Amino acid sequence: MSQLDIIIAPDPKLKEHCGLILDFNDEVKILLERMFQTMKKAPGIGLAGPQVGLNKRMIVVDTTQSEEKGKALKMINPNIVWRSKEFKKHEEGCLSIPGYYEYINRPDKIIVEYLNENNEKIELEAQGLLSVVIQHEVDHLDGILFIDHISSLKRGIISRKLKKYKRSIKKGNSK
Ligand code: NI
């Protein structure tokens, strides 16, 4: 199964609001599996539709390597229906922002509703790393990147460095 190309920020495709998936079909299932494989290969622990050019509310998550009780999940139309009042800071990175990590403050626990790859409605309570990853990926579906949660000064610096990095890749490819 062929992998998908990961879009690097800054890119307008990463700033769009994604639409709900209304038709559940085999194509959605196949795309989720391709996203999962792309995430594993990168390697990463989460990936959202817009990061691979799909303007659809779908995410994949895999925290099985990092946590004792981690999960590998494919989620369609994830919707966070409850957030704890308690917040926790966690260091985050993103496959669309290679090489940068920042501590982000988010609700510690969440309840998320979604459809799984078998079109079953699931309600999941998540905490710790799994909660962080799901919140990070759901943000992507609304055009929000983790650097949108940090100061505009820091965000500007990272953005400029990423632009430079993207130009250097383009030059490399045209040689
Ligand atoms: Ni990300």
CATH code, domain with 38: 3.90.45.10
pLDDT above 60: residue 14: yes
- State the virtual CA torsion across 83, 124, 61, 81 in degrees, nearest 10: -40
The answer to whether 68 is a known catalytic residue is: no
Q: Report if residue 108 sits inside a domain.
A: yes
Q: From the candidates 92, 102, 117, 137, which is the catalytic residue?
A: 137
| 65-81 per-position pLDDT tens digit | 886 778 999 999 999 99
Q: Centre a 10 Å sphere on the Cβ of residue 74 and count the other Cβ atoms it contains.
A: 21
Q: Report if residue 45 sits inside a domain.
A: yes
Residue span of the structural domain in which 134 resides: 12-174
Provide the pLDDT for residue 174.
61
102 CA distance to ligand 1 centroid (A)? Answer: 12
Q: In 3D, which of 75, 107, 74, 77 has the Cα closest to residue 89?
A: 107
Neighbouring residues of the ion ligand 1, judged by CB less than 5 Å:
94
Provide the pLDDT for residue 157.
96
Q: Report if residue 6 sits inside a domain.
A: no
140 CA distance to ligand 1 centroid (A)? Answer: 7
Q: Report if residue 54 sits inside a domain.
A: yes
39 CA distance to ligand 1 centroid (A)? Answer: 11
Average pLDDT in the 25-45 region?
96
Q: In 3D, which of 31, 7, 12, 50 has the Cα closest to residue 137?
A: 50
Q: Report if residue 102 sits inside a domain.
A: yes
| 56-114 per-position pLDDT tens digit | 999 999 999 886 778 999 999 999 999 999 999 999 999 999 999 999 999 999 999 99
Q: For strand 109-115 and strand 72-83, is the pairing parallel, antiparallel, or unpaired?
A: antiparallel
Please give the model's pTM, rounded to 2 decimal places. 0.95
Q: Report if residue 47 sits inside a domain.
A: yes
Pairwise CA distance, residues 123 & 138, whole Å: 15
106 CA distance to ligand 1 centroid (A)? Answer: 15
> In a 10 Å sphere around its CB, with 0-12 CB exposed, 13-18 middle and 19+ buried, how is residue 40 labelled?
middle
Counted domains in the chain: 1
Q: Return the higher-pLDDT residue of 15 and 1.
A: 15
